[in-house]
């Protein structure tokens, strides 16, 4: 094994591991990348390691660490802090790690409400004694068992450790992952603290974009949800009333959703310079919709917070209930 290989670590915090599937989806490009990369840590998805396996690695011994998933348990906080010490460069890999993503919608509820619902109130729950997960448990007076503590809220990983780079996507598109890994290998990364992104909006890659057809985008006069009928081919979804977040979302997926008639929901993350994704969404949509369409939007999406902050609520200025 060459000494010059970049030592890579991958840690899944509180996510679904879909971001790591995007690494695997690189397929033969991953084989090429592995000529330059040595995977020294990949847990818990690939290797069933213990805390001490990471804790015992020398500080700074991982060149680049990718973290996917958000912070929900005290275990995530601990592993993140240890990984930070072991890594020269740490990347928040995907929407959960960068912004909190869909699991962050749980911040609209209190921790106690979530536990009550999940362990007592769902139709499929069989828990007659109403037992909730206990962080510490003694079994037969003999065994001291512990579980990671469930924290009060979901947070992006930057709330726990310093993050060198952020990547959007739920998950990031494999081509984008390939480009990012290429940039890491070639040392062509942006200034620390930046998002790794082309910096263009989804609209810039969208074949439906009126501007790319030499036309002006028409105002949206009525709002339609996707179950109300299929959109016309080739025409901007927003013009047709389907609320599409393409104008204010990073386009590193190259407009994957609008390409197949599905409005962008914003998983790519905010365009550079945007402080609050939802606030940007409201201000941008305000200029694109007629007053009648705004009224329809509020009626058809009664929980607007869930709609506009689907991927970014924990990193928003609102952040929790």
Name the site residues for ligand SF4 (rule: CB under 6 A).
15-16, 18-19, 68-69, 94-96, 101-102, 170-171, 202-203, 206, 208-209, 236-238, 244, 246-247, 249, 253, 255-258, 264-268
Q: How far apart are CA 161 and CA 292, in angstroms?
A: 45
Q: Which residue has the tokens 């509180």?
A: 14
Nearer to ligand SF4, 40 or 201 (CB): 201
What's 121's DSSP letter? I
Picking from 92, 108, 119, 86, the residue whose alpha carbon sits closest to that of residue 14 is 92
Contact 309, 277 (CB under 8 A): yes
Comparing CB distances to ligand SF4, the nearer of 64 and 101 is: 101
What do you get for the CA distance between the two ends of the chain, in Å? 51
What 3-state DSSP class applies to 294? helix
Note the residue count of the chain. Answer: 321
Euclidean distance between CA atoms 254 and 176, whole angstroms:
9
Of the candidates 203, 232, 220, the residue with the CA atom closest to the CA atom of residue 286: 220
**96: nearest Cα among 118, 76, 117:** 76
- Paired with 139 in beta bridges are 143
Is the peptide bond preceding residue 44 cis, with omega within 30 degrees of 0? yes
Q: Which is nearer to ligand SF4, 19 or 57 (CB)?
A: 19
Between residues 57 and 93, which has the closer beta carbon with respect to ligand SF4? 93
Q: What angle do CA 109, 113, 116 make, to 5 degrees?
A: 150
CB of 3 to ligand SF4, least distance (A): 32
Least CB distance from residue 314 to ligand SF4, whole Å?
Answer: 12
Cβ proximity to ligand SF4: between 47 and 211 the closer is 211
d(CA 130, CA 311): 32
- The residue of the chain with the least Cβ separation from ligand SF4 equals 246
Q: Which is nearer to ligand SF4, 16 or 183 (CB)?
A: 16
Please state the closest distance from residue 244 (CB atom) to ligand SF4, in A.
3
In the complex, minimum distance from the CB of residue 212 to ligand SF4, in angstroms, rounded to a whole number: 8
Q: Compute the least distance from the CB of residue 284 to ligand SF4, in Å.
A: 10
To the nearest whole angstrom, how small is the minimum distance from the Cβ of residue 197 to ligand SF4? Answer: 11
Least gap, CB of 306 to ligand SF4 (angstroms): 15
Token code pair at residue 165: 């780079």
Q: Which is nearer to ligand SF4, 72 or 265 (CB)?
A: 265
Closest to 270 (Cα-Cα) out of 213, 311, 241, 230? 311
């Amino acid at each position: 094994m060459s000494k010059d290989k970049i030592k890579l670590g991958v840690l899944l915090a509180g996510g679904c591991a879909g971001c790591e599937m995007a690494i695997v989806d690189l397929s033969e490009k991953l084989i090429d990348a592995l000529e330059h990369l040595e995977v020294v840590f990949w847990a818990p998805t690939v290797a069933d390691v213990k805390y001490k396996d990471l804790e015992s690695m020398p500080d700074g011994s991982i060149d680049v660490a990718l973290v996917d998933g958000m912070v929900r348990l005290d275990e995530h906080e601990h592993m993140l802090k240890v990984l930070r010490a072991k890594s020269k460069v740490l990347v928040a890999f995907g929407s959960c790690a960068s912004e909190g993503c869909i699991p962050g919608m749980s911040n609209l509820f209190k921790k106690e409400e979530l536990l009550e619902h999940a362990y007592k109130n769902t139709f499929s729950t069989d828990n007659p004694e109403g037992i909730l997960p206990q962080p510490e448990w003694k079994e037969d007076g003999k065994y001291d068992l512990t579980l990671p503590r469930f924290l009060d809220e979901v947070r992006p990983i930057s709330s726990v450790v310093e993050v060198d780079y952020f990547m959007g996507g739920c998950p990031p598109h494999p081509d984008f992952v390939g480009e990012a890994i290429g940039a890491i290998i070639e040392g062509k990364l942006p200034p620390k603290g930046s998002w790794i992104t082309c910096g263009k909006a989804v609209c810039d890659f969208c074949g439906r974009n009126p501007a790319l057809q030499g036309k002006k985008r028409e105002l949206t006069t009525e709002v339609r949800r996707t179950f109300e009928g299929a959109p016309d081919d080739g025409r901007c979804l927003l013009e047709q009333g389907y609320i599409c977040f393409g104008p204010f979302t990073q386009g590193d997926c190259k407009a994957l959703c609008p390409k197949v008639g599905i409005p962008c929901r914003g998983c790519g993350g905010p365009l550079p310079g945007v402080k609050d994704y939802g606030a940007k969404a409201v201000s941008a949509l305000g200029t694109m919709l007629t007053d009648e369409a705004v009224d329809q939007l509020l009626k058809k999406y009664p929980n607007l917070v869930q709609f506009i902050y689907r991927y970014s609520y924990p990193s928003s200025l609102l952040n929790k209930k």
